[in-house]
Structure 1
Amino acid sequence: MTAALADLAATVDRIGQIPTVEALAADYDPHRWYGGPGSEYLGTPGLMNSRILPLTDAAAVEVYSSQPGEPADRDPEILRAGAERTAAACRRGARVRSLYNARAHEHPQTREHIDGLVQAGVDVRVLGGPFPRLVLLDRQHLFIDNLVVEGAAEHSGWHVSDRAAVMWARLVFELMWDRAIPWQALDRATDGAVTTARQRAILHELEAGYSQQQAGPRLGLAERTVTKELAALRDRLGVRTLYQVMAWWGRSLERALP
């Protein structure tokens, strides 16, 4: 009986500790949704979307995303569905922030899409140079591009659920956000500019010491596109050499534009 009572007392003591242990769950996240120690490799765009979309539909606090890619024509139905999903997050009361490549402002379809997002309540800003692609949901889920698995499919990535990594990425996003220009102010800021957003991005890369061959991959542009843009800018400025372009650029107020 003495032994049984001792066992019973120990069990009651362990039960009494349950509320304390449960309170730690938010910080230590012991229940992994999909297994793994804190990050999971998703090897195809389809897997990425199948994981991101339902979590986005459930997000109630924050939906942060950064889209550094070069704007291009897309299926209107896909854009419409994405816009509706984002607008629904706004209606649920989530704070929705989207960071775009500044070249999106000069692409008609993307510009129309973003204008619609802004009308739905999304806070949109733009950056001119390279920045990382990511999606942050409710301070719990982070989706990033694959930088680990060599030879992987294009647009594969990682789902990160480790809270320390997620919150660090959120800080990185906020630092980028603070440097960016609000979408609504872009018309006024770029009115009368000699350069386009793409040309400014190339010049920033050259100014940082990268060659034309290096600037293209960093910006997601073909080397031929970089050459063509610089030639167009030389014609616009009425100069013959890249040295003259960079001399003008060094004194230009347009260096502050995205």
Structure 2
Amino acid sequence: MTAALADLSAAVDRIGQIPAVEALAADYDPHRWYGGPGSEYLGTPSLMNARILPLTDAATVEVCSSQPGEPADRDPGILRAGAERTAAACRRGARVRSLYNARAHEHPQTREHIDGLVQAGVEVRAIGGPFPRLVLLDRVHLFIDNLVVEGAQAHSGWHVSDRAAVMWARMVFELMWDRATPWQALDRASGGAVTTARQRAILQELEAGYSQQQAGRRLALAESTVTKDLTRLREQLSVRTMYQVMAWWGRSPERDLP
């Protein structure tokens, strides 16, 4: 009994120290941010990649990603490595689906890269306008952009493992997937179109009531890019004002293109 009481006293003493130990986290763990037990902040692109890549290599059921970024020329070696990693997931039997910005179809290097993914068995669709970036792995891991920590590095983000949040994000992905255009159908859908995918995205923002400056911010485009695209479109349509452009857009079948 004496020994048991001594053990109990020691346990009570340790429990009493817990608040003091927890208070030390602010000093000894300042490089990590937690949004609860189901999410972890990864403050640099390298930390994001170090977490995403091994989990992608281990995925056996499902890999879903949405890439809203503006297409740009990239290191061919990096593209080849990414394509091989994705193809390997297909060979393991995982269903791989990727959503891309519709403007990727008009960028030669990105288009060639995606054509290769399709040949490897990846299901690809394109979508116009703004949409969220995310990566879903085996319905267990979710990676999203940082919208919490102010002043953080670009391309930092969060690793979410909370089951409810992961499955909710998967539902969002499915909604985006359903309204996207299959990659192989883009040639037929956009053949002969007056507008480019980027011009259509801008017009959709203007139609929704946003100004040109707001549209640029929402689409991650410079204001000068928005202005040049709209000027070029006015010239193609042989009209003088944006009122005339929007009147044409309201009746145009190109509104249904991504």
TM-score by length of 1: 0.86
Q: Which amino acid aligns with 2:164?
A: A
* Aligned counterpart, 1:216: 216
Q: Which amino acid aligns with 1:188?
A: R
* Aligned counterpart, 2:41: 41
Q: Which amino acid aligns with 1:75?
A: D
* Aligned counterpart, 2:164: 164
Return the alpha-carbon distance in structure 2 between the equivalents of residues 93 and 220 of structure 1.
35
Which deviations, in whole Å up to 9, do the C-alpha atoms of 1:3-52 show, x marking residues without a partner?
A: xxxxxxxxxxxxxxxxxxxxxxxxxxxxxxx9960000000000000000
Return the alpha-carbon distance in structure 2 between the equivalents of residues 41 and 117 of structure 1.
30
Return the alpha-carbon distance in structure 1 between the equivalents of residues 40 and 201 of structure 2.
33
Alignment of 1:35-74 (within 5 A): 37-74=37-74
* Aligned counterpart, 2:148: 148
Q: 1:249 Cα deviation (Å)?
A: 0.2
Q: Structure 1 residues 253 and 35, CA, compared in 2 at 3 Å: closer, same or farther? A: closer
Query: What runs of 5+ residues in structure 2 fail to find an aligned partner?
Result: 1-33
The residue matched to 1:125 in structure 2 has which SS?
Answer: strand
* Aligned counterpart, 1:180: 180
The residue matched to 2:126 in structure 1 has which SS?
Answer: strand
The residue matched to 2:221 in structure 1 has which SS?
Answer: coil
Q: 1:195 Cα deviation (Å)?
A: 0.3
Q: 1:62 Cα deviation (Å)?
A: 0.2
Return the alpha-carbon distance in structure 1 between the equivalents of residues 64 and 242 of structure 2.
38
Q: Which amino acid aligns with 2:174?
A: E
Return the alpha-carbon distance in structure 2 between the equivalents of residues 36 and 205 of structure 1.
35
Alignment of 1:188-203 (within 5 A): 188-203=188-203
Q: Which amino acid aligns with 2:117?
A: L
The residue matched to 2:129 in structure 1 has which SS?
Answer: coil
* Aligned counterpart, 1:17: none
Percent of counterpart pairs with the same letter? 88
Q: Which amino acid aligns with 2:205?
A: E
* Aligned counterpart, 2:77: 77
Which deviations, in whole Å up to 9, do the C-alpha atoms of 1:109-149 show, x marking residues without a partner?
A: 00000000000000000000100000000000000000000
TM-score by length of 2: 0.86
Alignment of 1:102-113 (within 5 A): 102-113=102-113
Across the two proteins, how many residue pairs are aligned to each other? 225
The residue matched to 1:248 in structure 2 has which SS?
Answer: helix
The residue matched to 1:41 in structure 2 has which SS?
Answer: strand
* Aligned counterpart, 1:127: 127
Return the alpha-carbon distance in structure 1 between the equivalents of residues 167 and 212 of structure 2.
36
Return the alpha-carbon distance in structure 2 between the equivalents of residues 101 and 127 of structure 1.
6
Return the alpha-carbon distance in structure 1 between the equivalents of residues 251 and 51 of structure 2.
47
* Aligned counterpart, 1:232: 232
The residue matched to 1:116 in structure 2 has which SS?
Answer: helix
Root-mean-square deviation (Å): 1.1
Q: Which amino acid aligns with 1:111?
A: R
Query: What runs of 5+ residues in structure 1 fail to find an aligned partner?
Result: 1-33
